Amino acid sequence: MSEIRPSSTTPPSRSDRRTLLRRSLLSAGLFSLGTPAAWAAQLPAVPPQPRDGEGLRRIAVQGGLGELLPPDALGLRLPAGFSARLIARSGQTVGSTGYRWHSTPDGGACVALADGGWIYVSNCELGSGQGGASAIDFDAQGNIRRAYSICSGTSRNCAGGMTPWGTYLSCEEVDRGRVIECDPKGQLAPVARNAMGWFDHEAVAFDPSSGHAYMTEDKSDGRLYRFRPTRAGDLSAGTLEVARRVGRAAPYTLEWLTVPTPNPSSSGTRTRKQVSKSSSFNGGEGIWCHQGTVYFTTKGDNRVWALELATQRLHILYDDSTHSNPVLTGVDNVVVSQRGDVYVAEDGGDMQICMISPNGEVAPVVKLEGQDASEMTGIAFSPDGTRLYFSSQRGSAGSGSDGRTYEVRGPFLSS
């Protein structure tokens, strides 16, 4: 396997790393006290979930954000009251930072900073040890302060997700791919979390009430996984499980089966093949946890799923083969806004980011013209919910060297 390389800064000593990690966790307000109960007590309370039979919890608003206007100077079609800027382009320096943005930008995430600013993290999906992840640091007004690498020497870093304690998990989408825990500030060296399994990782999302991580696998016979850390806030050890659907039709109930060998010695013992009773999910993509529900997508059948954690009931939130107006195709990255609106980016399709309404209708909120050979990736909201970040992975040239990363600002939180 490829060696993980930290950013260009000198790696801190063991004692310095402990100090930096503690500061990082304290700045996020989520320093673990060493027990699951104490750790979970510091997290936002999870509202009561619907009892079995009450149906899927409704997201907050009806319909979309308005009709899309003609393309702006960047080729983006947005609703009235929204604006966009290009913040990074592959091979070019980010603002005045001097840092050159990576090729093939893919999954992304945002983390809040103690001074009111935030960091946007973006994966690089190059293979053969040329992948990794970069970050852009913004001040409280949204001005770019710096850009830098947080991980390199990895392969096909596709998606990932934030941990409740403020680190970023960058996932390799290769056979026996790993989960790499990274410091968004670039101060700590990245660490491979092998206990979370070796497989074609796509994305990961945490249930903050339990500390369990849910992971997707981007294969036509991929699986849905759950990782239960032995110690809350520590991903170095734990139990890897794989889901089994029970029932003939949705809503299903999920059962969780232990994966006997999370780190298979060869491709002949692939993780997804080890538990014969586990269920396949066709091309697992983005995943997000919001107030007790895990949302994830499968591109092979163009579905958006919703798993109620309290009941382990699995619903199909969207299916383009049965929907009356299948405007959303090529489902990929997913994020849920503070209001509970489910945003889904398209891998191809019409190069849109769509929002799913409570009644099952789908409305585009961003459409990118003139880049049809690309895909929408890396959707993430700023901590205050007013800015949406995303990338066009291959730009208008249809090449990873033309990747472009955007910020859309507007009244996402308005009623």
Q: What is the pLDDT of residue 49?
A: 34
Q: What is the pLDDT of residue 230?
A: 98
- Token pair belonging to 320: 């383009």
Q: What is the pLDDT of residue 65?
A: 87
C-alpha separations of 45 from 49, 168, 242, 292 in Å: 12, 22, 27, 10
In a domain, 62, yes or no: no
Range of the domain at 92: 76-409
In a domain, 47, yes or no: no
In a domain, 280, yes or no: yes
Tell me the average confidence (pLDDT) per consecutive run of 10 residues in the chain, 415 residues long.
52 39 37 35 36 32 75 97 98 98 98 98 97 98 98 98 98 96 98 97 97 97 98 97 97 98 84 94 97 97 97 96 90 93 93 84 93 97 97 95 97 77
Q: What is the pLDDT of residue 133?
A: 98
Angle at the Cα of 309 from the Cα atoms of 233 and 300, rounded to 5 degrees: 100
Q: What is the pLDDT of residue 339?
A: 84
- The domain that holds 190 is classified in CATH as 2.120.10.30
Q: Judge if pTM exceeds 0.75.
A: yes
Q: Which amino acid is at 313?
A: R
Environment class of residue 277 by beta-carbon count within 10 Å: exposed (0-12), middle (13-18) or buried (19+)? exposed
In a domain, 208, yes or no: yes
If one counts every other C-beta atom within 10 angstroms of the C-beta of residue 21, the result is: 18
In a domain, 388, yes or no: yes
Strands (E), 197-324: 201-207, 212-217, 224-231, 234-246, 252-258, 284-290, 293-298, 303-308, 313-319
In a domain, 107, yes or no: yes
Q: For tokens 């596709």, name the residue.
A: 158
In a domain, 3, yes or no: no
In a domain, 52, yes or no: no
Q: What is the pLDDT of residue 269?
A: 78
Specify the number of domains making up the chain: 1
